[in-house]
Amino acid sequence: MDESINRKLADSITMHQVNLERVKSGLDKKAKSVFRQLEKNLKTEIIKADPTGVTAPSYRQARMKKLLTQTRATLSSTYKRMSKDMRLSMKELAATEGAYHQQLINKHVGVEIASVAVSKEMIESIVNEKNIIGGTKAADWWMRQSVNLQRRFESTIQEGMLRGEPLQDLVKRVAGTKKNDYKDGIMQTTIRQAAMLIRTSVQTVANDARNQLYAANTDVVKAVQHISTLDSRTTPICQERSNKIWSLPDYQPVGHSIPWLGGPGGSLHWGCRSTTAPVLKSWEELGADGIKTDGRPSHDTEAYFKKRYKERLEKLYAKDIQAGATKNGMPIEGWIQKETNRVIMNAQSSMDGVDPEALNYEAWLIAKPIGFQQEVIGIGK
């Protein structure tokens, strides 16, 4: 028998994870550009205020107050813009991921079996309410990072002033020193924290979008499977969950006792790279449970999909039908009927006995082209 539909979906979704890593890198690069500009602005404000340029304590105190007031405004506006930009990027990502995985399911089955799309309301909920990392919304994490950077800035400048450091050393406290590859400045911590927040948000939103899709199509999707990226960076929590299954719509563990806890993403831990794959019902289960239609649920799976697929082809070839055209040596109507029978037969075959299989990540990766392996694990590793 050919590879099952669920295994094919898990394989495609695992490969798609590489595209998500590209999205993370792209957003991380944009954020670094923003923070490099922020660093320049902070350095300029230190030089302009120059609290070391006067000796009288009252004048120094006045200049420090002016500097800290200005930097608070600068940091606040930068992080508000960052949070807004990330929210827009996450909305676009959620819409893209929902549509992609709906098409992916339908493509592998061969018919439009996943009929309910991720709605605008679902996307708003995913971005605004479900983008939870460590129990806190992503938008709130951006505000926390803004406050933390302000505190670090005030603390390091005040420490430098107490030590009597010259102006150029105060600037170095922000940017870092060339001697230490600029890793000793407060902005390095800021950039690392922002990168982790971005990467975790991308994975969380992408996972929530596909999980919302699966939950909206429970007439054909019976469960979700946790797919882990297994390498030296994989956490014990994701190693334990790899290939485990939870039922829909209640997310109860199937064949194990590990609770769902929101699934892979920020609900489990920072920097999570794991994702989910759908577990489709078998052709027999589809008929027994019924498929969503405009009216009552359809229990005749074959007739239902033949009707839908035939209507799709008739619409696509409407002009040919009207013109009495032929295709592959037969009248177009005959070809449509034959093609419909072929596609539905293949769909049924792919969905017979679709118990999910464990994905051996190492074996899966070795089977891929060298270029793909290098992109996943890095050249030389």
Within a domain: residue 316? yes
Within a domain: residue 126? yes
Name the pairing type of β-strands 330-331 and 326-327: antiparallel
CA distances, 377 to each of 20, 247, 362, 370 (Å): 14, 32, 11, 11
| Mean pLDDT along residues 59-87 | 94
CA 208 to chain centre: 8
Within a domain: residue 330? yes
- 345 and 203 in a single domain? The answer is no
144-188 per-position pLDDT tens digit: 999 999 999 999 999 999 999 999 999 999 989 888 888 889 999
Give the pLDDT band (50/70/90) at residue 292. Answer: low
Give the pLDDT band (50/70/90) at residue 252. Answer: very high
Give the chain's domain count. Answer: 2
Cα torsion 325, 329, 331, 333 to 10°: value is -110
- 102 and 72 in a single domain? The answer is yes
Which DSSP state fits 163? T
| Mean pLDDT along residues 254-261 | 95
Q: Where are the alpha helices (DSSP H) in the chain?
A: 5-49, 57-109, 120-128, 138-162, 167-175, 186-216, 236-241, 283-289, 301-316, 318-323, 332-350, 361-366, 370-377
- 213 and 302 in a single domain? The answer is no
Contact 88, 60 (CB under 8 A): no
Any long-range contacts for 58-64 (C-beta under 8 Å, 24+ apart)? 60/161, 64/157, 64/158, 64/161
- 150 and 68 in a single domain? The answer is yes
Distance (Å, rounded) from C-alpha 84 to C-alpha 142? 10
Q: What pLDDT, on the 0 to 100 scale, is given for residue 45?
A: 95
- 311 and 334 in a single domain? The answer is yes
- 165 and 67 in a single domain? The answer is yes
Within a domain: residue 251? no
- 49 and 160 in a single domain? The answer is yes
| Residue 172, phi then psi, degrees to nearest 5 | -65, -25
- 343 and 363 in a single domain? The answer is no
- 74 and 197 in a single domain? The answer is yes
Within a domain: residue 279? no
Residue 227 pairs in a beta bridge with 275
Distance (Å, rounded) from C-alpha 74 to C-alpha 174? 14
What angle do the packed helices 370-377 and 5-49 form, to 10 degrees? 40
Give the pLDDT band (50/70/90) at residue 41. Answer: very high
Q: Which domain holds residue 289?
A: 285-350
- 181 and 316 in a single domain? The answer is no
205-251 per-position pLDDT tens digit: 999 999 999 999 988 899 999 998 777 788 999 999 999 999 999 99
* Reported pTM: 0.80
Of 233, 201, 229, 177, nearest in space to 28 by CA = 201
Q: What pLDDT, on the 0 to 100 scale, is given for residue 341?
A: 77
- 28 and 126 in a single domain? The answer is yes
Give the pLDDT band (50/70/90) at residue 116. Answer: confident
Within a domain: residue 250? no
Q: What pLDDT, on the 0 to 100 scale, is given for residue 138?
A: 94
Within a domain: residue 58? yes
CA distances, 181 to each of 109, 138, 158, 172 (Å): 53, 30, 23, 12
| Mean pLDDT along residues 262-276 | 94
Within a domain: residue 41? yes
358-379 per-position pLDDT tens digit: 555 555 555 566 666 656 555 4
Give the total residue count for the chain: 381
> Mean pLDDT for the chain?
85
Give the pLDDT band (50/70/90) at residue 104. Answer: very high
Tokens 């990467």 belong to: 199
- 340 and 369 in a single domain? The answer is no
Contact 98, 213 (CB under 8 A): yes
| HSE-up of residue 208 (Cα within 13 Å, Cβ side) | 30
Distance (Å, rounded) from C-alpha 372 to C-alpha 378? 10
> Which of residues 174 and 113 earns the better pLDDT score?
174
